[in-house]
A = this chain, B = another copy of it.
Amino acid sequence: MQLKMSKKIMKPDFQGEFTASILAAAASPEIISFAGGLPNPVSFPIREMEAATQKVLTEKGAMALQYSSTQGYPALRAWIARRYETMGVYGVEADDIIVTNGSQQALEMIGAAMVDPGDEILVEDPTYLVALQSFHLFDPTVLPVTINADGIDCDKLEQTIKAHPDAKFIYVIPNFQNPTGLTYSRAVRERAAAILKASNLLVLEDNPYSELRFSGEGGNSFGAYLGEQCCMFGTFSKIVSPGMRIGWICCRNKELRAKLLNYKSTADLHTNIFCQLVLAQYLEDNDLDQHIEKTKRLYKQKAEHMMACMRKYLPEGVTFTPTEGGMFLWATLPEGITAVELYRAALKKGVAICPGDPFYEYARNVRTFRINYSNSTDEAIETGIRILGETCRELMASSQD
């Protein structure tokens, strides 16, 4: 047999290959890895999950093991719908929610529902690399819009929309943006919302990190400004457990929601109901906010420690954006050194970072990189950043030769 795979699957996948090679290199136990984005397992509510599981199997055992509906467990969807009030979005109903196999599946579903080959889509520049990967499955023309310290560049957003009136959607992460960690200011949120409201774009708001704000103030979801023009993605991965793969789309547009449901029904029928029931039981019997408080205290301490180490060990010329939440810091090297050079040199010394390249649709050999603080010990953070500092110095010295 001569295997004849699809043209689609044979396309190069810069994001996928780049990050797979970094994560593989970082997987060795001798490496201090700041490359990934894992929650700290200390934050997992293991005992509470044990109690919830026992209750579910005793009271709803057959339901937990049987086939279930594509849309997801109603009590879990009702909980999610209510949660939107904390983000300034009122009137969301359980019926607006589709439970997905992690919010990552939501990206693929929306790509399938919206994008034909060549269709234009807008993203922040840089943006979440898996979103790029996922949208690439559908062959779009990607139009990146710069993100500034206070959020998306509204002038560029306006220009891009004007120049591309048929673009299908914009994908944004207004809170602790991945990779930059930036949060849109209130002024930018309001201006961007007004620009988007006047446009024909569907707005996809991804929001895995807003619950992890440990200082400063966030802002309302675009769903509060834009109603059903805005689809909101969410996930329990960063606040309860990523291993359960439970995310969601909040889609208040009925026509789109019906198509997303058809698509998911064909793609994998439904998200595992066992974990949906366990999670719903956990949420009923525990105070999630209290749990999140503990996680935030942990991450605040980690973030502050990492920032202190960066101030101490990184040479002048290397800058970074201080963070108020989430799981990442975003740093920029001085001219003359690329993040890939730093990645390679630091890896030889046992430290892994994630160079910025895969977060950009077009830019390559960039000077930005992302580092994760949520899942390292304090010692590993200090050692790792010290080594990064040394490596930067060496590269800076040799670039000036």
Contacts and interface: CB of A to CB of B under 8 A. Distances in A.
A39 B200 CA distance: 46
A274 B241 contact: yes
B202 A1 contact: yes
A175 interface: no
Nearest to A1: B229
Given A3-B202, A243-B273, A268 B168 contact: no
Assembly of this chain: how many copies?
2
A245 interface: yes
A166 B3 CA distance: 11
A243 B2 CA distance: 37
Contacts of A114: 4-6, 9
Interface in A108-139: 108, 112-116, 119, 130, 133-134, 137-138
B67 A57 contact: no
Contacts of A61: 44, 46, 49-50
Interface string A64-86: 11111000000000000000000
A53 interface: yes
Contact of A243 (B67, B199, B242): B67
A386 B272 CA distance: 36
Given A9-B259, A57-B49, A108 B267 contact: yes
Contacts of A41: 62, 65-66
A181 to B, nearest CB: 20
A34 B264 CA distance: 24
Interface in A35-54: 38-39, 41, 44, 46-47, 49-50, 53-54
Contacts of A134: 266-267
A113 B262 CA distance: 21
Interface stretch (A98-106, A182-190, A323-331, A359-367): A98-106
A29 B65 CA distance: 20
Interface of A: 1-10, 13, 16, 20, 38-39, 41, 44, 46-47, 49-50, 53-54, 57-58, 61-68, 100-102, 104-105, 108, 112-116, 119, 130, 133-134, 137-138, 166, 168, 199-202, 229, 237, 240-246, 253, 255-256, 259, 262-263, 265-275, 278
Given A5-B259, A20-B265, A101-B272, 4 more contacts: A102-B268, A102-B269, A245-B270, A272-B272
